[in-house]
Amino acid sequence: MSDEADSLMRIFDAIAKVNKEAYRDVFMISNSVLNKNPFNNNLFKRYSRKEAIGKYPFCAKVYKLLLYYIKSTLYFGMYLIRFFEFVVSGFKFDLSSGGKELVLIDVPFLLEDIAKSSAFRDRYLPGLEDILKKRGRQYAYLPLFYSQQNHKRPLELLRALRILKRFKIPLITEYQMFSLSDIFKLIFFILTYPFHVIRCADKIQDDTEEGKAVKYELMDTLDQATFYNYSRLLLGRRIARMRYAGIKVISWYENRPTDKNLYKGLRDGSHSAHIRIYGAQLFLYSKKTPCFVPHEDELDFGVLPDKILANGPYYIQNGTRLNHVVGPSLRYAGIFAMDVNQTDRTNILILLPYFIKDAEKILKTLASAAMSRRKFFIKAHPATPLSRFKGLLPASAMIVRDDIFKLFRTTKILIGAASGTMIEAASVGIPVIAIKSHDGLDINNPMPEYGRGIIWDYALDAVSLNEQIKAFEEKLATRAVIIRDVAAKYKDMFFSRPTESAIVDAFEL
């Protein structure tokens, strides 16, 4: 085990130890530090860099509290505006059960995507709705509305709801389900949540460096507004009281606070026995990213799905209490349809990741590398537009927006960072060069150790990038059979063919 992996495991275990007590308080389920999220706090960075951790200053704590109440008030005001937008839209779901079982599809709804296309397409669990219709199942989407602008665009939700209403997309949302008492519960959460965090931190008696780091980070993130996470718990409670013969929740599962709160709410009360939760972890990720990896001890708090479906055998946790099985790779059906002539693959594809700093590092590395004589393309992440990188885009690059499987047909080498598409590329025989993260950590790289040096490898800077491109061009010419063998192994490790029977069996439809 590498030093970085060992370090991550120690801090992971420290958080799991804290959670055994902290998660008894339902308010703490909304906390991102205890959720092991490395993206919106500095816990992993501080700990990996061995920064000295002292007592959190009192003045800084007061400042964080002030920021928390300002942010929460502003965000809660925008939240109430979304209720108004829902009422104006006239959107309603018929909650009369007719004695049937209801299937809820819990996935993110990308508001910009809906507005741009004037339609809705499920990018997370594609094909599932068609099968539910075919089998005559009563279903509705349980949307987690997501906006790149954090809902700062006026009437953004209203426009999306009108489009969804026009296409008769069935939705159940908190905007229809909540009563005035739920709003007051959210206000109470906003007012009291920081004191739950402070009490949790004060209870940590672990004097190890890991324990001190967790305690410090809880204070340093005290300004984060988290009431929306808690709103999912209240929504889960409302759904659990719905009068259906049974409720199946098929949930896009990233083990986030929003997920955990929803599952906890669904299980609260006497009505939860007729509910079954399927956690669809049907995406590609790094097993070193701790927030994606469920911990079996959290089963005791009702915050995990009844059944977790992984995208391939590589992700399965064996020897635990988790009901962890391989599910159908709904988003990756194209992997099984790829039949490419290697002579058509002549281009280099640059895949920019979601994380802005990592995307900037890739572009700066390209600028210093000898790329001007090569034909290469750049594809941005859909949630991170290229307008953010003005001045960094190489003049010799071609910007592409085509479907990734179409691009794979002409790609000989892919360059990227922190993206599951790197695994997709390698699984169809395209060598991958992974640019090291801007912060030196490697927790977001999804590539496995198997196949390194054959079908993928790191580039630390422009010099090593040039070297890796030349090395892989040579391997494609001289070791094509070995590359194909590793690609075939990757396909078996990371994917499962999404046939109709596999989907029906996975979700017990």
Mean per-residue pLDDT of the chain: 89
β-strand pairing of 275-281 with 108-110: unpaired
Tell me if 381 is assigned to some domain.
yes
Q: Are residues 271 and 398 in the same domain?
A: no
With bands split at pLDDT 50, 70 and 90, how would you rate the model's confidence at 2? low
Tell me if 37 is assigned to some domain.
no
Task: Round to whole Å and give the CA distance between 177 and 231.
Answer: 11
Helix (H, G, I), strand (E, B) or coil at 55: coil
Per the structure, the count of domains in the chain is: 2
Is 422:434 a contact under the CB 8 Å cutoff?
A: yes
Q: What is the DSSP string of 65-83?
A: HHHHHHHHHHHHHHHHHHH
Tell me if 408 is assigned to some domain.
yes
- Which of 331, 356, 382 is the C-terminal boundary of a domain? 331
Neighbours of 357 (CB within 10 A): 11
Q: Are residues 343 and 322 in the same domain?
A: no
Q: Are residues 339 and 423 in the same domain?
A: yes
Give the residue with greater pLDDT, 502 vs 343: 502
Q: Are residues 342 and 323 in the same domain?
A: no
Q: Are residues 134 and 241 in the same domain?
A: yes
Residue 277, phi then psi, degrees to nearest 5: -115, 125
Tell me if 42 is assigned to some domain.
no
Task: Round to whole Å and give the CA distance between 376 and 398.
Answer: 7
Q: Are residues 343 and 467 in the same domain?
A: yes
- Which of 295, 310, 331 is the C-terminal boundary of a domain? 331
Nearest to 210 by CA among 12, 380, 435, 351: 12
User: What are 173-220's pLDDT values in tens digits?
Assistant: 999 999 999 999 999 999 999 999 999 999 998 788 888 999 999 999
Tell me if 46 is assigned to some domain.
no
Predicted TM-score (pTM) of this structure: 0.92
User: What are 94-143's pLDDT values in tens digits?
Assistant: 887 667 899 999 999 999 889 888 999 999 999 999 999 999 999 999 99
Task: Round to whole Å and give the CA distance between 212 and 14.
Answer: 10
User: What are 464-490's pLDDT values in tens digits?
Assistant: 999 999 999 999 999 999 999 999 999
Task: Quote the domain boundaries for residue 401.
Answer: 335-494
Tell me if 373 is assigned to some domain.
yes
Nearest to 495 by CA among 282, 274, 353: 282
Q: Are residues 409 and 297 in the same domain?
A: no
Give the domain CATH number at 145. 3.40.50
Is 401:378 a contact under the CB 8 Å cutoff?
A: no
Q: Are residues 237 and 295 in the same domain?
A: yes
> b/e string for 66-92 if b means 16 or more Cβ within 10 A?
eebeeebeebbeebeebbebbeebebe
- Which of 331, 366, 391 is the C-terminal boundary of a domain? 331
Is 312:335 a contact under the CB 8 Å cutoff?
A: no
Q: Are residues 311 and 255 in the same domain?
A: yes
Task: Round to whole Å and give the CA distance between 404 and 422.
Answer: 11
Give the domain CATH number at 401. 3.40.50.2000
Give the residue with greater pLDDT, 319 vs 105: 105
Q: Are residues 343 and 480 in the same domain?
A: yes
Q: Are residues 325 and 425 in the same domain?
A: no
Joined together, the tokens standing for residue 312 give 């391939």
* pLDDT number for residue 108: 94
Nearest to 364 by CA among 400, 394, 396, 387: 394
Instruction: List for the chain the helix, strand, coil content (%; round to 5).
Output: 50, 15, 40
With bands split at pLDDT 50, 70 and 90, how would you rate the model's confidence at 290? confident
With bands split at pLDDT 50, 70 and 90, how would you rate the model's confidence at 1? very low
User: What are 446-455's pLDDT values in tens digits?
Assistant: 999 999 999 9
Q: Are residues 434 and 466 in the same domain?
A: yes
